[in-house]
Amino acid sequence: MTLRSFLVKRLVYTVVLIFFVIVLNWIIFLAIPGLQSGYGSLIASSHKVNAATYDRLNQLYGLNQPIGVRFYDYVKAMLTFQWGVSYVSQQPVGTEMIQTGRLVNTLLLIGSSTVLSIIIGILLGVVISRRRGSAMDSFWVTSSLASYSMPTFFLGIVLIMIFAIGLHWLPAGGTFPQAWFSAKPDVWTQIVVRLQYLILPALTLTLVSFGGFLLLTRATMMEVLSEDYILTARAKGLSERVVLLRHAFKNASLPLITASALTVGFILGGAIITETVFNWQGLGFWLYNSILAKDFPVMEAMFYIIALTVILANLVSDILYGIVDPRVRYE
């Protein structure tokens, strides 16, 4: 199978999977108890509206349409990224997501912590893989296991207690000072202050995530380093750096590609627990509040976005598989 036919096959699988996710997302929300007759009763109970407003809301959200028409409108909305109007804010979901800065905040937080955890975990895994049984190996394996198994909310609270309440070095939560609602300082001041608010939540996610990449890199590298071709490369007089990076790491990178793709795929989902602990105004915190308020248009949009990013990330990993290891194309 050529690379082109391999890519076409993966693209077809991706399109089918996206349509399956769209249908499943629709069925999940349709099957929620109390929603079989439509969302109108929930809107009315939450807003305590009169009959006229109730009818207007039903018309606004298309709840008075037959189920076939509603399904068609839903699929069209998912494919065109027009996710309807939020029950709570009465604003378009896509507009609220972007204009409020939630999307940027999540990309900043989850993106920075994901990149740091992948880089730190892989580099440390490569370094300690050739020092099996040493004090450094034992220290980093124990540390990564401890941080990886630690609850996110507990680690976040500990960091707040130490660096915010105890040392007063960093803010305990939020995305920027309240004073910015009235007047914002110059750009450089904004960057410095935003970084101060970013450090603790990003550090929390990095400490929780890097251990998985370290352990996976160490395991795959140790398996590859025991192969005969590594012994041959060393016998040729190649430096240990060349052996590790050019020969061993390339063949050990396939599981890391999958793990990285899955991690990156959840970026737009936000970190619900971390964003809630630090009051970080991102997509995860927005989704949490939407669940509490039963804001179903926001929930539908967020669940679809999370699934879509995971699917696209796996498509990228499949393409990288076919490029890094041509044998994958013929399996």
Q: What is the pLDDT of residue 38?
A: 43
102-281 CATH fold: MetI-like fold (1.10.3720)
Q: Which pLDDT value is given to residue 159?
A: 92
Listed by start position, the domains of the chain span 3-94, 102-281
Q: Which residues of 33-66 are buried (b: 16+ CB within 10 A; e: fewer)?
A: eeeeebbbebbbeeeeeeeeebeebbeebebeee
Q: Which residue type sits at 199?
A: I
The pTM assigned to this predicted structure is 0.79
**Digit-coded pLDDT (tens) for 94-121:** 888 888 888 888 888 888 888 899 999 9
The whole-angstrom separation of Cα 60 and Cα 216 is 50
How do the pLDDT tens digits run along the chain, 331 residues long?
A: 676 777 788 888 888 999 999 999 888 877 776 554 444 445 555 555 566 666 666 666 666 677 788 888 888 888 888 887 887 887 888 888 888 888 888 888 888 888 899 999 998 988 888 887 788 888 998 988 888 888 888 989 999 999 999 888 988 888 877 766 666 777 788 888 888 999 999 999 899 888 889 988 888 888 888 878 877 878 887 777 788 777 788 778 878 888 887 787 666 665 788 888 898 888 888 888 888 887 888 888 888 888 888 888 888 887 877 777 666 555 5
- Torsion over CA of 152, 156, 162 and 168, rounded to 10 degrees? 170
Check residue 329 and give its pLDDT: 54
